[in-house]
Amino acid sequence: MGALEWDVYKESMLMGIGDLDDVAEAFREAAEAFGVLVARPEVGKLWEQPSALEGYSVGAIVTHVNAATGWLGRLMDAPAQPDLRPTPPADYLGFLHALKIDPDHGDKHPLHGVLHDQFEQAAGRGWEPNRDKFRSLGERLAERLEGESAARLLDLRPTLPLVVSLGEFLRTRIVELVVHGDDLATSVGIDEPPLPERAATVTIDVMVAVARAAHGDVAVIRALARRERVSAAVFPVY
């Protein structure tokens, strides 16, 4: 594979261009697994208690995921804009890394504070309404994704200064479901249901792609294989 072919290959992998079916199925499986967790009585019992995420209640984890998945629905319902220009994949992944919270230094993007208050307010409506909301969102989005193209562009502005493909954005929704599923299970002291393999693969691929965009390939390889040569905090990426 020549240099130009490799660049095109990496671009397509990062953007998620191609058949949407596999990614959509991974999303459906991840949503089902998260729905099982949300429905657990332990979640309802500890809804207002602090979670494993500093500053978040158990309920706010669920409302965060509701917001993350609901955003996808709103973006897909928006009228198509044929003049959109996609954000380069490396820039998009770099922006995701910039949203990282560093608990050791208290660093976080200003957006986190605004969203945190919204999530806690939504959690105030209680467990059952938010549990049912997630179930409804998951079912609606699974149907909505049928027949869609992975290359369809979604305009994330003004929330984020980005234009990304549906395939690319859907992958990040899977990450939200998988990572926060683990957060939720840890917060209420239960074992997380078996993680669907496709969803796990997407999540790991996205996280490694974010690390590569932020730190470069050599740094990622060293972080995975040679701890003594690591010069930057490559992982975690979020």
What is the percent of the chain where pLDDT is above 90?
Answer: 64
Cβ atoms of 31 and 69 within 8 Å: the answer is: yes
How far, in Å, are 91, 144, 174, 235 from residue 70 at the CA level? 24, 12, 13, 28
* In-domain check, residue 218: no
Give a yes or no: residue 223 inside a domain: no
Q: Is residue 18 scored above 50 in pLDDT?
A: no
Q: Which domain holds residue 48?
A: 3-211
- What is the pLDDT, as a whole number, of residue 148? 92
Task: Give residue 112's pLDDT band: very low, low, confident or very high (50, 70, 90).
Answer: low
Cα distances from 33 to residues 26, 81, 195, 199, in angstroms, run 11, 34, 7, 10
Residue 206 near residue 175 (C-beta atoms within 8 A):
yes
Q: Name the domain count of the chain.
A: 1
pLDDT of residue 109: 46
pLDDT of residue 236: 86
Query: pLDDT band for position 92 (50/70/90)?
Result: confident
- 94 vs 176, which has greater pLDDT? 176
Nearest by Cα to 93 from 211, 176, 12, 6: 211
> What's the rounded Cα separation, in Å, for the pair 192 and 189?
9
Cis peptide leading into residue 236 (ω within 30°):
yes
- Quote the mean pLDDT of the chain: 86
In-domain check, residue 39: yes
Any domain includes 7: yes
For residue range 140-163, list pLDDT tens digits in order.
999 999 989 999 999 998 888 899
45 part of a folded domain = yes
Question: Residue ranges of the alpha helices (H) in the chain?
Answer: 3-15, 21-38, 41-45, 58-77, 89-98, 110-123, 127-144, 166-188, 197-215, 217-225
Does any domain span residue 106?
yes
Average pLDDT over residues 35-62: 96
Q: Rounded CA gap, 221 and 84, in Å?
A: 35
Work out the pLDDT band at 16, boundaries 50, 70, 90.
very low
Reported confidence tier of residue 100, pLDDT bands at 50, 70, 90: low
Residue 9 has a pLDDT of: 38
The token pair that represents 18 in the structure block: 């191609």
In a domain, 80, yes or no: yes
Is 27:174 a contact under the CB 8 Å cutoff?
yes
- pLDDT confidence bin for 2, thresholds 50/70/90: very low
Determine the average pLDDT of the residues in 175-189.
Answer: 96
Q: Say if CB 100 and CB 237 are below 8 A apart.
A: yes
Whichever domain contains 36, its CATH number is 1.20.120.450
Does the pLDDT value for residue 67 go beyond 90? Answer: yes
Q: Do 47 and 123 touch, CB atoms closer than 8 A?
A: yes
Predicted pLDDT of residue 94? 79
In a domain, 227, yes or no: no
Most confident of 40-54, 73-87, 113-127: 40-54
CB count within 10 Å of CB 112 equals: 12
Asked if 35 and 142 touch (Cβ cutoff 8 Å), the reply is no
- Residue 199, pLDDT > 90, answer yes
pLDDT score at 5: 35
